[in-house]
Copies of this chain bind each other. A is one copy, B any other.
Amino acid sequence: MEEQKVFLPEKEIPRQWYNIQADLPNPLQPPLNPATGQPIGPEDLAKIFPMNLIEQEVSTERWINIPEEVLDKLLIYRPTPLHRARRLEEYLGTPARIYYKNESVSPAGSHKPNTAIAQAYYNKTFGIKRLCTETGAGQWGSALSLGCAMFGLECKVFMVRVSFNQKPYRRMMMNTWGAECVPSPSNETSFGRKMLEQDPECSGSLGIAISEAIEEAVTRDDARYSLGSVLNHVMLHQTIIGLEAQRQMEALGEYPDVVVGCVGGGSNFAGISFPFVRDKIYGKDCQVLAVEPTACPTLTRGPFSYDFGDTAATTPLLPMFTLGHDFMPKPIHAGGLRYHGMSPLVSQLLTDNLIEARAYGQLQSYEAGVIFSRTEGLICAPETNHAVAAVIEEARKAKEEGQQKTILFNLSGHGMLDLSGYDSYLNGELVDYVLPEEEIQRTVEVLKSYPKPKAGR
């Protein structure tokens, strides 16, 4: 019987996160104050984040110790298993060996708790009593609810109203973990009330929800805001995925030729890939592939520019690939990964040609997801399906070229609460959408007046 998956024993769980800022060929460019155009200092963020996380955000230490209290909670579901997708290989008739890291086994069903637990801990030790955040479809809101339950923090989640109404299970999950979840725009913030005055039927957006969460966080001294992707400390916390995967691959005597992750804000991709990118910086040969939807092609078609992290333009300016902070993904896109911007770290790696980016339509992604579910059993999150689509393409290429190849991808989450997308796909109700070139050009025009980061493609 051939081995199908590797469990890493608990005692071999990584004790440190890997901070790629220590190894970047070109250092990350700083966030800017939009009013002055000057780099912001830690104190500019002190009302939004606790100082211990701000320090982590700017640290260039290569290895950062995972606190025992964080490890203790991560061990609820970590180390996660590494699986060989042998049935998928057989179905494709490929000589490639396909491995996936299974982050769906967390209580929230995705990789998001890796940073939610860490953020809850750092806020707790800083004396914070309450965390506020936004959530779109609900993955991040439920992960933070779990993290806060683990450390006895209050948690308030502003959930985009259209998702709040369409996905009641996510709200119920947050409530079960003791969090409060309100539809955004809400009557509980002045920005929310303003939005509702303008349009009482307003269905909400991630940008509005972020603004409400930040507003609520900064009004209380013992409350802070928490973000589930994009920022450096979030990427840092996710590196435990790739560090575990490296040890598991090593146990199999394998090293990946290709590492694949889907990208929205960048956190699961960073998690699986940054430890391998480090090897690459030090001379190892490895292809690293970030996969996004054609409906939200930030890395493949967006300009590299300074831009706001939120639609309401209240955050510092971040150096990143972006489709413009007022970008609104089309409702016909059912595959997630809708964020207009991208982690500055992931963006920097792309400009430095250490990673590649590729975009797939949702039809090809869901097709890949259905193939995966019928061969490997697991029903992936729609986001994850983009990675699966790339893996299948790579495996077919290996077949055509008669080439032995080892592929590793991050199965970032399961799709138990996103089955309506599969249903629409199976019923032939989905269509592909490619962002028109005019929209890209419009963004490029708007961003001309913004500060430019030094390197670009």
Contact = CB atoms under 8 A, between A and B. Distances in A.
Contact of A7 (B9, B71, B72, B374): B9
Contact of A416 (B177, B417, B422): B417
A327 interface: no
A349 interface: no
Interface in A96-116: 105-107, 109, 113
Given A68-B1, A107-B379, A374 B76 contact: no
A173 B10 contact: no
B7 A419 contact: no
Contacts of A394: none
Contacts of A75: 1, 4-5
A54 interface: no
What is the oligomeric copy number? 2
B169 A416 contact: yes
A58 interface: no
B172 A77 contact: no
B71 A1 contact: yes
A52 interface: no
Interface size class of A (residues with CB under 8 A): 35 or more
A13 to B, nearest CB: 9
A40 interface: no
A176 interface: yes
A168 B417 CA distance: 11
Given A4-B10, A416-B109, A377 B76 contact: yes
A117 to B, nearest CB: 9
Given A4-B75, A416-B416, A374 B169 contact: no
Contacts of A377: 73, 76-77, 106-107, 113, 146, 149-150
A106 B377 CA distance: 9
A411 to B, nearest CB: 11
| Consensus secondary structure, chain A interface | helix
Interface string A244-277: 0000000000000000000000000000000000
Given A68-B1, A423-B172, A76 B10 contact: no
Contacts of A107: 373, 377-379
B105 A4 contact: no
A149 B374 contact: yes
Q: From A11, A81, A172, name the one whose CB has the most chain B CB atoms within 10 angstroms.
A: A172
A5 to B, nearest CB: 7
A175 interface: yes
Nearest to A374: B149
A370 interface: yes
Interface in A66-84: 68, 71-73, 75-77, 81, 83
A176 to B, nearest CB: 5
A281 B293 CA distance: 59
Contacts of A376: 76
Contacts of A379: 107, 173, 176-177
A68 to B, nearest CB: 7
Interface in A33-91: 68, 71-73, 75-77, 81, 83
A379 B106 CA distance: 11
A125 interface: no
A76 B379 CA distance: 13
Report the 5 A-B pairs with minimum CB-CB distance, sorted nearest first.
A7-B7, A172-B419, A107-B377, A172-B423, A4-B75
Given A7-B9, A107-B379, A149-B377, 7 more contacts: A1-B10, A1-B68, A113-B377, A177-B374, A178-B374, A416-B417, A417-B417
